[in-house]
Amino acid sequence: MRTLLRPTAFVDSPFGNESKVARLAGGLNWFAAVELITVEGHKRTSTELVPVDKVQKRFDQDMAAQWQALTSPRPALQLGDRTIRLDQPQVMGIVNATPDSFSDGGRFADAAAAAESGSDMARDGAAIIDVGGESTRPGAKPVWEGDEIERIVPVIRQLAAGGAAVSADTRKADVMTAALEAGARMINDVSALTYDDRSASVIAAAGVPVALMHHQGAPETMQEDPRYEDVLIEVYLWMEERIRAAEAAGIARDNILLDPGFGFGKNVGHNLELMNGLALFHSLGCPLVIGASRKRTIGALSGEAPADKRLGGSIAFALKAVEQGAQIVRVHDVFETVQALKVWRGLRDQALTPRI
């Protein structure tokens, strides 16, 4: 049995309440209470809401470590010459250099079109451009490494040459190597380094950031009948184990990011529960990457709207994520999301302006 800490009761400003609130992960969010979640096995057995100014009296060694992780600033990411600050939310733009993407129908399968799209995203405010050459939508089949490399390397090379900070969305060690040689300076692995047993050593040797994403099952079958005893707790414990595995492989903790994997082996209820409980994952001490853009859950909640009609829902998820301290939102619609976050940031800046 152990107790996990989920920050809640977020407040606009710490002014006048300094002893009663805590800052979340060095970002722009403050919280006034903590949900103490008692866990046995893989599920919650009880919860208790405790004010911040009283919670530390309850800590054991594990809880104290979680608190330290919750309240410590996240170091900036270094992607080559580019520094990505994580004391404010950032946008990662999605470029699918595939013929069968769920979100854009293969519009950017041509390398030149994909690179142009990525350049537009960087101009519109994306801090990182994430380039993928293998669809991992539900039911997708694996792509041979050679084909994947052929799809993404020209795109990455052109974007990197133009000064963009580029991430490669892949789960294969050989593709990671080719992407890094082409100029990518981050890896986004939907398998959390479980698909290819050589991938962790590639990341460790390169010394680049890596996003580890939770999944249940392979893309071909992951949405057939996903089941959890308690999705929030199971994903948390799984991520905790993947952090340990990555560190054991020689990957620096400051280079590890976490993605709870919306839509990857999860039904609508699972996805919504993860989003509602998202702040829990900050106690793992790593930056959070949230990829809910255009996901099927949005369609399921809005009359089965197709992927290209899910902008409103995508922005709703992005704002819900940053309200809970998510450092990076991974999106298709960069301009609109950046605009939404600028308005959110304006609200935060005004709230954080002393009145006296």
Per-residue confidence in pLDDT tens, the chain, 356 aa: 999 999 999 999 999 888 999 999 999 999 999 999 999 999 999 999 999 999 999 999 999 999 999 999 999 999 999 999 999 999 999 999 987 554 554 555 588 999 999 999 999 999 999 999 997 777 767 889 999 999 999 999 999 999 999 999 999 999 999 999 999 999 999 999 999 999 999 999 999 999 999 998 666 655 667 889 999 999 999 999 999 999 999 999 999 999 999 999 999 999 999 999 999 999 999 999 999 999 999 999 999 999 999 999 999 999 999 999 999 999 999 999 999 999 999 999 999 988 76
Buried b (16+ CB within 10 A) or exposed e, 224-261: eebebebbbbbbbbbbeebbeebeeeebeeebbbbbbb
Whether 330 sits among the annotated catalytic residues: the reply is yes
Whether 266 sits among the annotated catalytic residues: the reply is no
CB–CB of 284/68 below 8 Å? no
Among residues 168, 294, 192, which one has the least CA distance to residue 245? 192
Return the DSSP state at 75: P
Q: Give the start-to-end residue ranges of the domains of the chain.
A: 2-56, 77-350
d(CA 29, CA 26): 8
C-alpha radius of gyration, the chain, whole number: 20
d(CA 32, CA 269): 27
CB–CB of 285/327 below 8 Å? no
pLDDT value at residue 104: 56
CATH of span 77-350? 3.20.20.20
Q: Which of 295, 296, 310, 348 is catalytic?
A: 295
Among residues 254, 133, 147, 235, which one has the least CA distance to residue 192? 235
Q: What is the pTM of this model?
A: 0.94
d(CA 113, CA 305): 26
pLDDT value at residue 354: 80
Q: Which of 172, 310, 330, 348 is catalytic?
A: 330
